[in-house]
């Protein structure tokens, strides 16, 4: 019996450590997975007309708006306010325009966590949205033309489910006649592999503890 209690307390501690501090959830289970002041680092790769650039940058959360208790359309889903800097701390200036594609596809830098099914339903109402949903990531992509019908643009965004913040952002422009890639941009959050493995290991520890407790109870 004492061993079972010890395992139970270990389980509670591990579960507590795996939890991300968030604000109170709404009636639909939505809540912020980030805090004001949180920082996220990224690697950016750009290629245009044979010119290639690799840079590092970071984003900080400056404010989180309130989340309505009931959201019935995609336009009502809020996002956080952020600041974006180069790795050395200087402002990105006009270079930050690379992120315009996120807003073009009605995305955000961060979404509330807690009910990805609801977000899928709301975003899925857009016939141009191609939803992606995996164990760790949720997002969507868009492909089409604008301004010049000869140029096809594909934009993709996805978010880490544990905190709702941007994980990957990609833009590609292709000349449909020559099939030449005119421009590409890929912005990837640093440390994603490590975070995924922490979640896997933590989940495995919890599962092992639960199974151990069940086995002990059966022996009793």
Tell me: the pLDDT tens digits for 1-42?
A: 545 445 444 444 444 444 444 446 788 899 999 999 999 999
Spatial distance between the Cα atoms of 205 and 22, rounded to a whole number of angstroms: 23
pLDDT of residue 220: 58
The overall pTM is greater than 0.85: no
pLDDT of residue 209: 46
pLDDT of residue 218: 56
Higher pLDDT, residue 34 or 129: 34
Q: What is the mean pLDDT of the chain?
A: 83
Quick one: pLDDT band at residue 181, thresholds 50, 70, 90?
A: very high
pLDDT of residue 19: 44
pLDDT of residue 219: 58
Average pLDDT over residues 125-139: 87
Higher pLDDT, residue 66 or 5: 66
**Domain layout of the chain by residue ranges:** 23-193
Percent of the residues in the chain that have a pLDDT greater than 90, as a whole number:
66
pLDDT of residue 213: 56
Average pLDDT over residues 89-100: 94
Quick one: pLDDT band at residue 194, thresholds 50, 70, 90?
A: low
């Amino acid at each position: 019996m004492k061993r079972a209690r010890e395992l139970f307390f270990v389980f509670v501690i591990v579960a507590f450590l795996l939890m991300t501090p968030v604000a109170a959830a709404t009636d639909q289970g939505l809540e912020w997975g980030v805090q004001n002041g949180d920082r996220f680092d990224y690697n950016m790769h750009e290629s245009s007309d044979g010119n290639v650039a690799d840079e590092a940058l970071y984003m900080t959360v400056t404010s989180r708006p309130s989340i309505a208790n009931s959201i019935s359309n995609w336009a009502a889903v809020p996002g956080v306010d952020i600041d974006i800097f180069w790795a050395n701390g200087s402002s990105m200036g006009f270079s930050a325009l690379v992120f315009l594609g996120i807003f073009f596809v009605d995305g955000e830098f961060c979404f509330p966590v807690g009910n990805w099914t609801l977000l899928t339903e709301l975003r899925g109402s857009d016939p141009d949205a191609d939803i992606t949903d995996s164990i760790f990531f949720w997002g969507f992509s868009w492909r089409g033309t604008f301004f010049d019908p000869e140029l096809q643009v594909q934009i993709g965004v996805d978010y880490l489910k544990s905190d709702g913040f941007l994980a990957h952002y990609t833009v590609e422009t292709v000349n449909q006649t020559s099939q030449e890639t005119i421009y590409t941009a890929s912005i990837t959050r640093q440390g994603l592999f490590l975070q995924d493995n922490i979640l896997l290991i933590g989940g495995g520890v919890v599962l092992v503890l639960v199974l151990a407790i069940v086995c002990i109870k059966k022996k009793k």
